[in-house]
Structure 1
């Protein structure tokens, strides 16, 4: 090592060392491949979860709107049923002669023979 001499170590070229290098290279390739496959699988799972989440959110929004619409329509149906019942009562009353005569006296000032109508103003407490 003196006087600029360099000590040269030669590498042993044996089959065992070559086999070990190949095994190391194969392991590193398989690790890279495994990492790539797991990454692709992870990305796929994330995409599926995101799409599922978006779908569930949109479906819940649609369901809420439909429930609100159903409630509004049920309220409208209840009002229409009340109106229908009132109109049926009115139809039944219009078939009654006493009711018709009462309306004629009240609205058209018609009287029975010998009857006199007096119009009285409503009482106010002011």
Structure 2
């Protein structure tokens, strides 16, 4: 079409055109609101997910530390149980007169009547 024919075409201000324009405008406003709501929801979900990840990471770190500490304490418990067993054996031995006599002979060179003690030097292997 040429420009003369375009000037001859007029737009009618009909009730239908006004309603159609209002519907388009309302749809545009509705879409903007929808985008805002979805953006807010997305931001909220992202915030919750970040908080969850941070919490899980910190709990994992604390749990790892506690597991390491538990293993260390279990090893220490085993060692202390061995020491306890040795001490119980020593208590039982110290309640025995024969063991006390053996220690007195070995450490203090005490003898029974008529007994002679010979102390031999210890030989070290180089």
Taking structure 2 as the reference length, the TM-score comes to 0.90
Cα root mean square deviation, aligned:
1.6
Match of 1:29 in 2: 29
Structure 1: distance between partners of 2:51 and 2:124: 70
1:99 aligns with 2:99: yes
Taking structure 1 as the reference length, the TM-score comes to 0.90
Match of 2:73 in 1: 73
1:115 is displaced (CA, Å) by: 0.9
Match of 1:45 in 2: 45
Consecutive unaligned residues of structure 2, counting only runs of 5 or more, are 1-6
Q: Which runs of 4+ in 1 moved over 6 A?
A: none
Q: How many residue pairs align between the two structures?
A: 121
Show the 5 A alignment for 1:81-120.
81-120=81-120
Consecutive unaligned residues of structure 1, counting only runs of 5 or more, are 1-6
